């Protein structure tokens, strides 16, 4: 799980202007959800045009997960 956390963080950091603001937390349940937090105004960079970037991050995370492990990647709402 820690490796996927680092992978998701690395992928998110590579698309934002301020990589030091990226935080990734994991919540376990019936599936593991990785929640990406970025600086205000950077959400669009992680989402990408038409959701392409976040979908690519989800695809890579699911491909690298353990067999039969369900993985979801979401973006946290920015704190205002």
What pLDDT digit, counting tens, does each position of 25-52 carry? Answer: 999 988 999 999 999 899 999 999 999 9
> Residue 80's pLDDT is what?
60
H or E element in which residue 36 lies? strand 32-37
Residues 15 and 53: beta-carbon distance below 8 Å: yes
Residues β-bridged to residue 23: 37
> What average pLDDT score do residues 3-30 get?
94
> Residue 1's pLDDT is what?
56
The pairing of strands 71-75 and 32-37 is parallel
Q: Retrieve residue 6's tokens.
A: 């680092």
CA distance 22 to 20: 6
Residues 46 and 53: beta-carbon distance below 8 Å: yes
Tell me what the pLDDT averaged over the chain comes to: 92
| Domains of the chain with CATH codes | 2-75 (3.30.300.20)
> Residue 77's pLDDT is what?
77
């Amino acid at each position: 799980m820690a490796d996927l956390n680092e992978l998701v963080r690395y992928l998110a950091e590579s698309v934002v202007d301020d990589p030091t603001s990226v935080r990734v937390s994991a919540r376990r349940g019936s599936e593991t959800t990785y929640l990406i937090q970025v600086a205000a105004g950077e959400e669009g960079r992680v989402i990408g045009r038409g959701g392409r970037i976040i979908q690519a991050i989800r695809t890579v995370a699911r491909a690298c997960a353990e067999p039969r492990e369900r993985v979801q990647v979401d973006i946290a709402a920015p704190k205002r």
